[in-house]
Chains A and B, each alone.
Chain A
């Protein structure tokens, strides 16, 4: 049952990602990408990472993709400017080499990684415990980073005659 769920979600993720990368119309790409993120959230649930699955749907499929769709609509490309994948032999070679190298690297594991899956605690309480104790400094740093990105966005998008 678990294997069936894994393989169906994995196939969905790969197919939707492929459609995202190859669609000619950017709006279709964005919609395929939302579906691919939904499949990823399903995979996170299979890994017992429930909080991460929820954050994936809220932040990635919700916030980030809405941002993408807004900008696509603002830019509003003409249909003749749409173009799909440009199959460059060098790029294909580079991607194939990368995949081959990573597949080889997958054969080795570090000492901290066991071969058997463990019961992962993915509930918000457990993750929040780590987030607000051991990773508290990193958490605060990320909040400053988000503030900086916010301010940067506002400064960049002001029209030049306001300056």
Chain B
């Protein structure tokens, strides 16, 4: 039997790796990938919580799984739009380095 803590610990470690990716990579595509890693870690925590939910009327409600379903749909929409923005960035400024995109900074 695997305890809830193990699942959540794994989720926390993977989320932190994604956080490191967002903070330490400069390539905008890698930053997006790291955001996906963080979403994925959150999904793992949601399903683990669902497994440990107290049963209602003899059955565990699948709320966590439904939530993960929505998260995946939103992640797909987000990635599609964000990747087009990355592509436009490359077309206009010829760079994917987030440090070079400072037009709004003063």
Contacts and interface: CB of A to CB of B under 8 A. Distances in A.
A126 B80 contact: no
A75 B76 contact: no
B21 A106 contact: no
A79 interface: no
Most buried by B among A21, A51, A131, A152: A21
A84 B97 CA distance: 12
Contacts of A85: 20-21, 24-25
Q: What class of interface size applies to chain B in its complex with A?
A: 35 or more
Interface residues of A, number: 82
Given A21-B37, A37-B40, A67-B80, 16 more contacts: A14-B13, A21-B24, A40-B40, A49-B68, A51-B65, A67-B83, A68-B33, A71-B87, A75-B29, A87-B24, A118-B51, A127-B69, A146-B77, A149-B77, A153-B81, A156-B84
Interface of B: 1-10, 12-21, 23-27, 29-30, 32-34, 36-37, 40, 43-44, 47-55, 59-63, 65-66, 68-70, 72-81, 83-88, 90, 96-97
